[in-house]
Chains A and B, each alone.
Chain A
C-alpha cells in the first residue's frame, strides 16, 4: 500500500491550491492508495474551519484520507484547545506545524507545548522543516528532545538546501533523537535518503509529497529511484505512516 505522508488541501494565501477531488484524481493516476491531508493557510488566517473541512473529507473518504489538523502556536492556549478539539472530537490523527507560513520558530515554547500535547494525545506531528531561521534540523532536534513521547516527521528530509549544506545537521538530528523521522519531498540528492535508511533503518524515512507545493507524481518517482531493497521500499512508501499512526493510537488507548 502506498501512503502519501503529507499533502495540503484548500486554497492557500501563499498562492497554491489543491481540492480534495483533484487530489483523489492525482492519487488515482499515480497509484497512491491513501494520503495524509492537512489544511493550507487560508486567506482568512483562520485555521479552525479548514480543520473542520479536513475532518469532513476524512469522514467522506475514510479509505483514502488520513486527516491532520493545523494550528498556529502563536495562538497560545487557544492552539492547544484547537489541537485537542481536532483529535478528540473531530477524529483527526495528526498535527501539521508550518513555522515558515505561520511565522514562528519551531522551538519557541508554545510550539514545543503543542508537540508535547500531540504526543500525549497519541498523534504524530509533521513539521514543514528545513526553512532557515524558523525550522532547521537542529531547532527541531531541540524540540524532539523536549518531547520524547512524540513522533515528529521532518518534511524535506529535514533540510532545504540545494548544495546539501544542511544535510549534516539533519543527519545529526536523526542520530540524536529516535523520535525523529524524515519525509522525502524535495530532498536534494537521493543518496542522502539512502544514507539515512542505511544509518537509521527503513522505519524512519517516509514518502511525503507535500503536494501541491511539490508534484505528487514526481515525488513518488523520487522514492522509487532510491537505491534500496524492494522489501524496504514498501516501508518507506506506506507501511511506516501506518505504523506510526497505529502506534500512537495504541498509546492513546
Chain B
C-alpha cells in the first residue's frame, strides 16, 4: 500500500530550536515505510524567514519525488499573494500552510481569507494549524469555510487535545473542511472522524520529524479500518488533492 504523509516539516530555524534538515525526515520516512511526504518549514516566509521558500525548494529538490513542498506564509505580508503564486508556478509548490499562532490572526481574518482564496485559484490546499490555542480553535474555521467555499481547507491535528469534538463538528457542517491526524493523541477520535465525516475527508499526517512518523502510522494501523478506508486515509485522499493543484485558473494563475 502506498503511504503519503500529508504533514511534515523541513527547516533549520534557530529561534524555535528545531533543526530538521531533509535528511532527518527521509531517514524517519524510510523507517516507517512512508514513500512521500508533504513538507513545510517551521518559520513563515517572508517575515520570520525571508528565504524560507527557496530553502524548502532546494531541500525538496535533493529528494525529488519524495518531498512535496507547501509554502508556509504570513498572510499579512504585502507580497504574500505574489509569493504564493510564485511558489506554486515557479517553485512547484503544491499547497499553502498557515499557522495562526505564528501569524497572530485567526482563520477568519481578512488577510487569511484573501490568501486562501488565492490558493483556491490554483486548487492548492491550505493546511491550517488547529488546536486549543486562542487563534486556532476549530469553530473559527466556520467563517472561513463560508467565505471561501471553493477552497480545500485542512485542519491539522484535529483540534488538538480539547477541541477534537469541535473539529469534527465544524467539518460535518462544511464540506470543504478536512482533518489530518497528525499528533492527535486520541486514536478513537480519529475512528470517530472517519465514521462521521467519511474516510475521504481524513488525511494521514505525522507532523514529523518531531512527532515520530512510525508511531503516527501505528496509530492509524491500530484503528481497524477497512482496506479501502486505509488506502484513502494513508494515500489516495492527499494524492487526489495534490493532483488537481495548478489546473484551474479562474481569474488567477495567469502570470
The reply on B157 being an interface residue by CB < 8 A is yes
A161 and B133 contact, Cβ closer than 8 Å, known pairs A188-B183, A217-B222: yes
Q: Name the B residues within 8 Å of A77 (CB-CB).
A: none
Residue B218, interface by CB 8 Å: yes
The answer to whether A165 touches B132 (Cβ under 8 A) is no
Q: Which residues does chain A contribute within 8 Å of B131, judged by CB atoms?
A: 161-163
Chain B contributes a number of interface residues (CB within 8 A of A) equal to 26
Asked if A162 contacts B210 (CB within 8 A), the reply is no
* B202-222 Cβ-contact flags toward A at 8 Å (1 or 0): 000001011110110011001
Q: Report how far A214 CA is from B99 CA in the complex, Å.
A: 26
Does any Cβ of A come within 8 Å of B23's Cβ?
Answer: no
User: Binary interface profile of B, 117-155, with partner A (CB < 8 Å = 1, else 0)?
Assistant: 000000000000101110010000000000000000000
The binding surface of chain A is classed by DSSP as loop
Question: When chains A and B are docked, how far (Å) is the Cα of A198 from the Cα of B84?
Answer: 40
* A 177-190 to B, binary, CB cutoff 8 A, 1 in contact else 0: 00000000110111
Does A191 make an interface contact (CB < 8 A)?
yes
C-alpha spacing A215/B224, complex, angstroms: 15
Looking across the interface, which residue of chain A has its beta carbon closest to that of B210? A189
Q: Choose the segment among B50-58, B185-193, B233-241, B247-255 that binds chain A (4+ C-beta atoms closer than 8 Å).
A: B185-193
- Determine if B101 and A165 form an interchain contact, defined as CB atoms under 8 angstroms apart: yes
Instruction: State whether the Cβ of A102 lies closer than 8 Å to any Cβ in chain B.
Output: no
Which residues on the A side are within 8 Å of B188 (C-beta)?
215
Instruction: Output the least CB separation between B75 and chain A (Å).
Output: 18
Residue B246 at the chain A interface, CB threshold 8 Å:
no
- Compute how far the CA of A165 lies from the CA of B133 in the bound complex, rounded to whole angstroms: 10
Known: A160-B161, A162-B132, A186-B161. A218 touches B219 (CB 8 A): yes
Residue of B nearest to A171 (CB): B17
Return chain A residues, CB-CB under 8 Å to B186.
214-215
The size bracket of the interface on A is 20 to 34
Return the CB mask of A185-216 against B: 1 if under 8 Å, else 0: 11011111000000000000000000000110
Identify the closest chain A residue to B24 (Cβ). A191
The verdict on A163 contacting B187 (CB below 8 Å), with A190-B210, A191-B210 known, is: no
With the chains together, A215 CA to B186 CA distance in Å? 7
A164 within 8 Å of B (CB atoms): yes
From known contacts A162-B161, A163-B101, A190-B210, infer whether A215 and B187 are also in contact, taking CB-CB under 8 Å.
yes
Are A190 and B183 in contact (CB-based, < 8 A)?
no
Collect the chain A residues with CB atoms within 8 Å of residue B136's CB.
163
Report the nearest B residue to A227, measured CB to CB: B212
Does B69 touch A at the CB level, under 8 Å? Answer: no
- On chain B, the residues within 8 Å of A221 by CB distance are 215, 218-219
CB of A207 to closest CB in B, whole Å: 14
Q: How far, in angstroms, from A164 to B132 measured CA to CA in the complex?
A: 12
Interface residue A85 (Cβ < 8 Å from any Cβ of B): no
A225 contacts the other chain (CB 8 A): yes
CA distance A218 to B217 in the complex (A): 11
| Nearest CB in chain A to that of B161: its residue | A160
B184 closest partner in A (C-beta): A162
A188 near B133: Cβ-Cβ < 8 Å: no
Provide the residues of chain A in CB contact with B218, threshold 8 Å. 218, 221, 225
Q: Please tell me if A222 contacts chain B, counting CB pairs below 8 Å.
A: yes
* Closest chain A residue, CB of each to CB of B133: A163
Known contacts A162-B132, A165-B101; is-contact A218 B211 (Cβ 8 Å): no
CB of B215 within 8 A of CB of A222, answer yes
List which B164-187 residues lie within 8 A (CB) of chain A.
183, 185-187
Q: Report 23 cross-chain contacts, Cβ distance below 8 Å, ordered by A residue.
A: A162-B129, A162-B131, A162-B157, A162-B160, A162-B161, A163-B101, A163-B136, A164-B210, A188-B185, A188-B211, A189-B207, A190-B210, A190-B211, A191-B210, A192-B210, A214-B185, A215-B186, A215-B188, A217-B222, A218-B187, A218-B219, A221-B219, A225-B214
Return the 3 tightest CB-CB contacts between A and B, nearest first.
A189-B210, A225-B215, A162-B160
